Amino acid sequence: MKTKLILLPAVILLAGIIQLNASGLSLSNETIISANVKAPTDFSLRTHRQGKGVTATWSFAEEAISFIIQKTYEDPNDPYAFWEDVDTVAYDNSHAFKYTDINVFAGTVNYRVLALLADGTVIQSEVSAVRINSRG
């Protein structure tokens, strides 16, 4: 089942969409992102194959609560593509962050990072793709 991206007025701020659990904040697969989503400014993402996984490194100029790393094997430009939440990374004032995903399969895997700001704004990085020929 593919998820629909719906833009709502800015007065609806991700109500009930952000979930707090033992592993931190995450967005559900039924994510509804409000008009409070900003274009990436000073938000760079790079991915590369490392060992049996993929390492994502990014920098972010603003202060955030946390980051959600997402991936898809589908067309990242398809608004109905399913984006899987891979993990949540806490903000640590360093402005440079790294995460290694060891659960990858053969094919083209696309990554993006969502920055969650204290005012409820979500900033989405550009998409970065890695081609995995095999897991070995």
Percentage of residues in the chain with pLDDT exceeding 70?
68
CB within 8 Å of 106: residues ≥ 6 apart: 132, 133, 134, 135
Tens of pLDDT along 102-111? 999 999 999 9
Phi, psi angle pair for 66, to nearest 5°: -165, 175
For residue 74, count other CB atoms closer than 10 A to its CB: 15
- Domain residue extents for the chain: 36-132
| Cα gap 115→122, rounded to integer Å | 6
pLDDT at 18: 42
This prediction's pTM: 0.71
Here the tokens at position 19 are: 């979930």
Terminus-to-terminus CA distance in the chain, angstroms? 30
CATH number of 36-132: 2.60.40.10
Tens of pLDDT along 116-131? 999 999 999 999 999 9
